A and B are shown apart, each in its own frame.
Chain A
Amino acid sequence: MGSRVFIGLGLLCVCVAVWQVVTAVGGVNSFLVPSPAAVALVLVSVLTTGTTYSALGTTIVEIVAALVLAGGFALAIGIPVGWHRLTQHAYEPLLANLAAIPLVILYPVFAVIFGIGPLSKVAFGAATAFFPVVLAVVSGVAATNQSLIVSARSMGARGLTLLLITAIPSALPVIVSGLRLGLTLATLAVVGGEFIAGTQGLGYLLASAGEAFETKKVYAYVVLTLLLAIGLNVAFGLLVWLSRKVEER
């Protein structure tokens, strides 16, 4: 496990080194592609500015809210659909096809309905994250081992109880990985929404820097977004690990 992280980081360092060498030699326009060293300097100054953190906070809250909303709807719709063969055959293809629509083209609609404040970002993020999560829920629930269901029935389980003791624990790993994917998509959607038309958040800062032609700052904010995505994923993993520990007590 340690060696895997090492190899990944090593590759990253090689890429950064190549980038440094190319810019130092003068192979590219230093205005369009600044050197990693310059970006790092700007990144430090960005991180020491207070406004960065309030923007980061807004973005994080929007992402989490979007994911919670998406998750809620996905469970509410996905569980009944996946549990009954009839609904599963009817609705799963529909959901899969809807998932293929690039929702970003509908973002202006969200902005019109919810305004250009945080609410539209949350709605847009939730809509984007909804599809992978609902598909994961449906397939997880539908894949419950039939033998376990019959066994539970023979012991007297019916209806909701049957669902809760067989399908839900069985589908949990698939649902969690669906949520992880949803987190990634929610991050993209929220930051993207802030970038296109927003008033706060990381995407807005990115857009402002871009409009002011402060390329080094743009790169710095991109790195920051990357760090945010990594941080959220790690936090998610921690949450899953913690809940497993709590369950095993």
Chain B
Amino acid sequence: MSLFHPTGPRVGSLLSGSIRQAAMTVARRDHGTPSESDGAPASTVVEARTSGPSAAPSLGPSFRSSEVIRVEHLAVSYRRSDGAEVRAVEDVSFSVREGEFVTLIGPSGCGKTSLLRVMGGLLRPAAGQVYVNDVLVKGPMPDAIAYVFQDFALFPWRTARANVEIALQLKRVPRGERRRRALDALDMVGLAEVADRFPRELSGGMQQRLAVARALVSNCGILLLDEPFGALDEQTRLVLGVQLSQLLESAGRTIVFVTHSLQEAVFLSDRILVLSHQPCRIKKTVEVPLPRPRGPDQVKSPAGQRIEAELFQLLYRESLV
């Protein structure tokens, strides 16, 4: 029994193809179709495909994604219990293209979670800005961004279905549609049979999938996941990682993922941003040009292991400082 059902039609219906459609329209409008821009379609196709590591083949050769997230000179600080101000993030700038899977990885406590929170509008930065879909982020953007928390943040007094429904309830979606969409989302993550159970009655892996279902149901284009597998054992992490990767790929959303697992970072992402210790800056950007879709047989592939080794070197040196 597969844990997820990454079947094309069902997921496609959830996404309703709207993001892909919009992206392709934008691409055609800005850059022109190959046959229009110059008389040599073949060379343009090749050019477009190698223009960026995240130009996913499934989205068409003329597609060039726009930047959905732009982080500019971001600095984040927090107040310690003794009143002192601590810088968690210092001068971080990067952007994320549509449909890209970017991972933030770094030593423990370096500020990855703070960075992600600011990107989600849950925290105010000390300096710098974040733009999502070219709009300045000043607070939560529930129509554009869905967030998955490390401790799942499930409401213990609500059933699994009610937990998923709450995302829609807050958008004033009528009851019948709410119920239907919630059950669809639960079905996508393979939790349809436990819709009426409470979170405490579910295993860690199931709770995690429930949190993901809640993030998916609102049809946001951007998902921010903060160490979503942090609380799980390694086997569950590996299995869920593969399933999640397939699910998220077919859902076609833009994803920023925080983890401290090198293997997860390499397996899931298109690009990895390695962060330094606190206050964190971007130490290095590592591209992961491994082919998509990524399946279970690629978990320990030689190419992936080489990238993992490179990451480990970077992080080990960072931890010695």
Which A positions have Cβ atoms within 8 angstroms of B? 145, 147-148, 150-157, 161, 165-166, 169-170, 172
B170 touches A161 (CB 8 A): yes
- Measured between beta carbons, the chain B residues less than 8 angstroms from A152 are 166, 170
- In this complex, what residue of A is CB-closest to B117? A150
Known: A151-B149, A161-B170, A165-B166. A156 touches B140 (CB 8 A): yes
Nearest chain B CB to A62 CB, angstrom units: 34
A151 to B150, CA, bound (A): 11
Within 8 A of A (CB), among B110-135: 120-122
A155 to B219, CA, bound (A): 12
A169 touches B170 (CB 8 A): no
20 A-B contacts (beta carbon < 8 Å): A147-B151, A147-B153, A148-B153, A150-B122, A150-B149, A151-B149, A151-B153, A153-B140, A154-B120, A154-B145, A154-B146, A155-B142, A155-B167, A155-B170, A155-B218, A157-B170, A161-B170, A165-B155, A165-B166, A169-B155
A170 to B153, CA, bound (A): 13
- In this complex, what residue of A is CB-closest to B159? A248
A172 to B170, CA, bound (A): 21
The A-B contact count (CB < 8 A) is 46
A155 touches B120 (CB 8 A): no
B170 touches A151 (CB 8 A): no
- In this complex, what residue of B is CB-closest to A172? B157
B151 touches A169 (CB 8 A): no
Instruction: Say yes or no for B171: interface residue by CB 8 A criterion.
Output: yes
- Measured between beta carbons, the chain B residues less than 8 angstroms from A148 are 153, 155
Instruction: Say yes or no for B147: interface residue by CB 8 A criterion.
Output: yes
Q: Specify which of B122, B157, B170 lies most central, judged by the most chain A CB atoms within 10 Å of its CB.
A: B170
- In this complex, what residue of B is CB-closest to A154? B147
- In this complex, what residue of A is CB-closest to B224? A154
A102 to B149, CA, bound (A): 47
A151 touches B147 (CB 8 A): yes
A151 to B157, CA, bound (A): 15
User: How would residues 137 to 174 of chain B score, 1 for a CB under 8 Å from any chain A CB and 0 otherwise?
Assistant: 00010110111010101010100000000110011000
B157 touches A169 (CB 8 A): yes
A153 touches B122 (CB 8 A): yes
A182 to B238, CA, bound (A): 52
Within 8 A of A (CB), among B208-250: 218
Given contacts A151-B147, A152-B166, 13 further A-B contacts (CB under 8 A): A147-B149, A150-B122, A150-B153, A154-B121, A154-B140, A155-B140, A155-B142, A155-B166, A156-B142, A161-B170, A166-B155, A169-B155, A170-B157
- Measured between beta carbons, the chain B residues less than 8 angstroms from A170 are 157
Nearest chain B CB to A86 CB, angstrom units: 15
- In this complex, what residue of A is CB-closest to B120? A154
Nearest chain B CB to A247 CB, angstrom units: 9
Known: A147-B149, A165-B166. A154 touches B122 (CB 8 A): yes
- Measured between beta carbons, the chain A residues less than 8 angstroms from B143 are 156
A105 to B155, CA, bound (A): 45
- Measured between beta carbons, the chain B residues less than 8 angstroms from A151 are 147, 149, 153
- Measured between beta carbons, the chain A residues less than 8 angstroms from B121 are 154
- In this complex, what residue of B is CB-closest to A148? B153
- Measured between beta carbons, the chain A residues less than 8 angstroms from B145 are 154
- Measured between beta carbons, the chain A residues less than 8 angstroms from B157 are 169-170, 172
A172 to B143, CA, bound (A): 30
A157 to B170, CA, bound (A): 6
- Measured between beta carbons, the chain B residues less than 8 angstroms from A165 are 155, 166, 170
A44 to B151, CA, bound (A): 60
- Measured between beta carbons, the chain B residues less than 8 angstroms from A166 are 155
- In this complex, what residue of B is CB-closest to A247? B157
- Measured between beta carbons, the chain A residues less than 8 angstroms from B170 are 152, 155-157, 161, 165
A59 to B19, CA, bound (A): 67
